[in-house]
Structure 1
């Protein structure tokens, strides 16, 4: 299996990354803002939506890094910062009308990144492993 490596420089590119990271799991401790470098990093346990289920009956997860450069500030909404082991489920990543980037998590949690310009990179690290669980969302 090839490792996924994507770059987003505009909102359309970011929508592709958003689809790739949907249903990723991330521990609060694995979300970090490096203010001096103007970089925000998330280490993800990513569901491999791009894996071909017709070739292999297993579903796959892998570790990935999601990196945003040129980040000026980070704002949290209902992120349990005092619970570093708490797992968050990433649902979507999008660029807002004001240029900021929103990371939307389950249970209404969110992180907003104030950025100078969009410069986002997603890369798989390590080897994928099989999982019997495929994320599912209720239809409303």
Structure 2
């Protein structure tokens, strides 16, 4: 069982749908401000920073300490990005990440959907799955562990 003192920064890369499932699990319950999301068409990149819950430090424990860490995430080979049911003008609005999924098209192309609590989503039309996550800060303690109804 990992603890906060055993924390090691994560650096992950997703190159296919199975990798994306792992990235999705690591990001579950991350929180971010909508102002921290950016689509950079010239670079064909969609990026955001988030406060990631450190599931790897929580293991199966019910009591803390738990931790969050600032993480940067980006997707490359992005042709377009669409925000659905998210108010992009509300830069300070906080969203909670639920999952990332890949809807395959032809020849490795497709759509990566980033789902958020409350029904919001970001749809990324991509040439391939090409995603990265990097922890950027030391972890800080948090009292609560996200819970989900079965």
TM-score by length of 1: 0.94
2:45 corresponds to which residue?
A: 39
Determine whether 1:128 maps to 2:139. yes
Q: Give the superposition deviation at 1:7.
A: 0.4
Cα RMSD between the aligned structures? 1.3
Take 1:131 and 1:52, find their aligned partners in 2: how far apart are those partners? 11
Q: What does the per-residue CA deviation read over 1:56-115, in whole Å, with 9 as the maximum and x for residues that have no partner?
A: 940000000111001010011101111000000000011113321000000110000001
The CA distance in 2 between the partners of 1:57 and 1:86, in whole Å, is: 27
- Residues 33-72 of structure 1 mapped to structure 2, 5 A cutoff: 33-53=39-59, 57-72=64-79
Following superposition of structure 1 onto structure 2, how do residues 1-140 of structure 1 map, counting pairs within 5 Å? 1-53=7-59, 57-98=64-105, 99-139=110-150
Structure 2 Cα separation of the partners of residues 39 and 60 of structure 1: 28
Distance in 1 of aligned mates of 2:64 and 2:36: 30
Task: Give every structure 1 segment of 4 or more consecutive aligned residues whose post-TM-superposition deviation is greater than 2 Å.
Answer: none
The one-character-per-residue Cα deviations of 1:43-66 (angstroms, maximum 9, x if unpaired) are: 010000011556x94000000011
Q: Larger strand proportion, structure 1 or 2? A: 1
- Provide the C-alpha distance between the structure 2 equivalents of 1:6 and 1:92, rounded to a whole number of angstroms: 16
TM-score (norm 2): 0.88
